Amino acid sequence: MTAEDTSFQGEFYLQETDTIASMTESDWSNIQQVQFAYTAAITLNKVIGVPPYPATQPIHSGIEFIRLPTYLSSIRLITFMKNIPEFGLFDADDRVTLVKYNLVAVVCMHTVLLYDPIADTYHEHDTEDPIFQGKDWIKILGEEFYRELTDVATKVIEICQYDRVIVKIFLLLILCTKGFCGYDITNEPSLKNPSIVFNTQNRYLETLYRYCLHAYGSTKTVTLFTRALSSLLSIQRLAVDLKDCVHHHIDASQLSPLMQSILQLTDSNPPV
């Protein structure tokens, strides 16, 4: 294993230095860029062909689960990443590697932005997307996965103080963590230019830390990061479990090339 193939635990850390203090102009610029990228991703990938909000869209099978909510989340998250300027500076092969091997985990984290723990529903805020019922996941993915997914989403919502900025930055940080899922680490290519990926991750991690200090103070920030680490490890497990479920229960030929790629059902690569 090469240096850039380090595990999540070894790579996802925060340097405690005197330079990490108040928000800088660069930090606010980073947050504005993340907000813009996320909004653009939603705008550019609207739902068509299904009744709009507040209609409920039932999901009856694993194929429907992958074709609609999972595909929608995936395509929006890829667009989100492509609108982050630093992502465009990554080596082209490195972009493919990070998306192909980490995007399922990013999709799992994305549920935090969609989930309503009171109604047990999933819906993208301020859109005409239909509502998806959490109970449908039980029939498709099983009771155990459903409970773990909803528990993690609920905990992260609480940990992040219902602050959507924090979750959006975590989406970017997870994607930039080489080997985050470790699903097929023996076949996962090494990054060709790991330093630019690491520097991007570190830049946004420090921005996140300063943002939390600014918004919540030092005590709450330390608690937030400590609890978030545990939940991120749960996100790892969810991503692996979801891939295993798909591999065992879904016919890959019925899925789009994009979903086949990021679920590692084929050797093809996603377009990024």
Q: Per-residue confidence of the chain (272 residues) as pLDDT tens digits?
A: 444 444 444 444 454 444 456 899 999 999 999 999 999 999 999 988 888 888 899 998 889 999 899 999 999 999 999 999 999 999 999 999 999 999 999 999 999 999 999 999 999 998 999 999 998 988 888 899 899 999 999 999 999 888 999 999 999 999 999 989 877 777 889 999 999 999 999 999 999 999 999 999 999 999 999 999 889 999 999 998 888 888 888 888 888 989 988 888 877 888 88
Q: Inter-axis angle of helices 143-159 and 92-114, to 10 degrees?
A: 90
pLDDT of residue 19: 45
- Number of helical H runs and strand E runs in the chain: 11, 3
Distance CA 77, CA 261 (A): 15
Give the three-state DSSP class for 115.
Answer: strand
**Structural domains of the chain sorted by starting position, each given as residue range(s) with its CATH number in brackets:** 3-14+23-262 (1.10.565.10)
- Check: CB of residue 102 under 8 Å from CB of residue 197: no
pLDDT of residue 197: 97
pLDDT of residue 16: 46
